[in-house]
Chains A and B, each alone.
Chain A
């Protein structure tokens, strides 16, 4: 029997909240799918659209960007900037015809280990029926 498709998710997590949130999920031994490759960045505001495009280009089936809740950013405004930028890239990805389910953004605080696991579980569930992402994957 063919193995079930396991999507690869690249998650850009800000160090102060979302990454800490995912750590909490880990140390609390919460169970969640192993499909995520987390990449810790200093702040959601530091995520260049190029990171997102590169992740898709190197074969990510889904990309998650996650930062502190509005008002909680360690650098005060980073996540507000991120919110604008990500809204635009989100629209652009949709416009060129990438399935909208493949790109997500979330606010996850250091205390929200459970929310993080929920997000990942849902993300995996939504990606499975889509199959592998080949549209933006490198075809060199």
Chain B
């Protein structure tokens, strides 16, 4: 479905959606973040990239699986905990971040369907916003089969046409949101469509960063497992969690029993994000660590994204959002590393 919505009527539309939990980008201190709001006036679609992607809503950093209590000896009570039933709408999802969810869909939706993930995923409607100008200096979606107006993973895509939004819906979930405020949406004129076309062509041109010949990278990586290259490239890495925690496609987790009382034993089984960049991620209980240094951890990050994932799901596990580049505290540049990989030894 294609429609237009004047900017002035955006809050009126949102007003009709208040039975959903509404998320919008909000500026906090010096960065942007998705925050729940019940004020339709808060919706802000003119913002740079958020530090955390909407991954944090669909696959939260902390998920309670179950609660246990051993008050009657030998007969512990165990209670399953599921995400609350509450439909949500996320406004202002960038196309790269929405596409990232199509990757986590694959990971959590294989033979084993992760109920926690899917519950949140299915009850959330994603309203995207095209990037008419790249929101970040390090955007490179175009190089990884994406685009600043990609619809992958989105239910609705809005494109800023100045005083109105061009509105496209791609799913039933998306149409439903439009149907809740039918009168507000008009059919696009021929001029609207022409404007849209022009904006789209321009928006792609404005993306400055790129990887050339990306196809050469996976086969090259296959040969580079034992290369001293990784030692060199990882020299400045700090082994922090930024590049992976903030990456919209990274999905590694840890499960722990967290104890709230020791007599009787009471606690929760909790899933939290984890990352291959932490030294204890691969620590065996024998004390042996198969990825003992920064080099092997950087290699893991790059190989997972540009080799293993490609082998398995026929796509790079990267949508070009640029977060890992812009936010790395020591300026490790994924694109520079990939350029060097491609040209390595030639």
Q: Which residues of A contact B (CB under 8 A)?
A: 138, 140
Q: List 6 A-B contacts (CB under 8 A).
A: A138-B260, A140-B258, A140-B260, A140-B267, A140-B268, A140-B270
CB distance from A13 to the nearest CB of B (A): 21
How far is A138 from B260 in the complex, measured between Cα atoms in Å? 7
Q: Which residues of B contact A (CB under 8 A)?
A: 258, 260, 267-268, 270
Task: Give chain A's interface secondary structure class.
Answer: loop
Contact residues in B for A140 (Cβ distance below 8 Å): 258, 260, 267-268, 270
Contact residues in A for B270 (Cβ distance below 8 Å): 140
Residue of A nearest to B259 (CB): A140
How far is A140 from B258 in the complex, measured between Cα atoms in Å? 7
CB distance from B68 to the nearest CB of A (A): 12
Contact residues in B for A138 (Cβ distance below 8 Å): 260
CB distance from B340 to the nearest CB of A (A): 44
How far is A102 from B287 in the complex, measured between Cα atoms in Å? 41
Of all A-B residue pairs in the complex, the 6 with the closest CB atoms, nearest first, are: A140-B258, A140-B260, A138-B260, A140-B268, A140-B270, A140-B267
Residue of A nearest to B260 (CB): A140
Contact residues in A for B267 (Cβ distance below 8 Å): 140
Contact residues in A for B260 (Cβ distance below 8 Å): 138, 140
CB distance from A105 to the nearest CB of B (A): 27
CB distance from A54 to the nearest CB of B (A): 12
CB distance from B264 to the nearest CB of A (A): 15
CB distance from A8 to the nearest CB of B (A): 13
How far is A140 from B270 in the complex, measured between Cα atoms in Å? 9
How far is A138 from B268 in the complex, measured between Cα atoms in Å? 12
CB distance from A140 to the nearest CB of B (A): 5
CB distance from B289 to the nearest CB of A (A): 26
Counting chain A CB atoms within 10 Å of each CB, which of B258, B260, B267, B268 scores highest?
B260
Residue of B nearest to A137 (CB): B260
Contact residues in A for B268 (Cβ distance below 8 Å): 140
CB distance from A49 to the nearest CB of B (A): 21
CB distance from B262 to the nearest CB of A (A): 9
How far is A138 from B258 in the complex, measured between Cα atoms in Å? 11
CB distance from A55 to the nearest CB of B (A): 14
CB distance from A111 to the nearest CB of B (A): 35
Residue of A nearest to B64 (CB): A140
Residue of A nearest to B268 (CB): A140
CB distance from B265 to the nearest CB of A (A): 14
How far is A140 from B67 in the complex, measured between Cα atoms in Å? 11
CB distance from A58 to the nearest CB of B (A): 9
Residue of B nearest to A139 (CB): B260
How far is A88 from B117 in the complex, measured between Cα atoms in Å? 44
CB distance from B168 to the nearest CB of A (A): 42
How far is A98 from B260 in the complex, measured between Cα atoms in Å? 21
How far is A140 from B81 in the complex, measured between Cα atoms in Å? 14
CB distance from B79 to the nearest CB of A (A): 15
Residue of B nearest to A59 (CB): B261
How far is A35 from B187 in the complex, measured between Cα atoms in Å? 72
How far is A140 from B267 in the complex, measured between Cα atoms in Å? 8
CB distance from B47 to the nearest CB of A (A): 30
CB distance from A82 to the nearest CB of B (A): 27
CB distance from A51 to the nearest CB of B (A): 16
How far is A77 from B270 in the complex, measured between Cα atoms in Å? 44
CB distance from B273 to the nearest CB of A (A): 16
CB distance from A59 to the nearest CB of B (A): 9
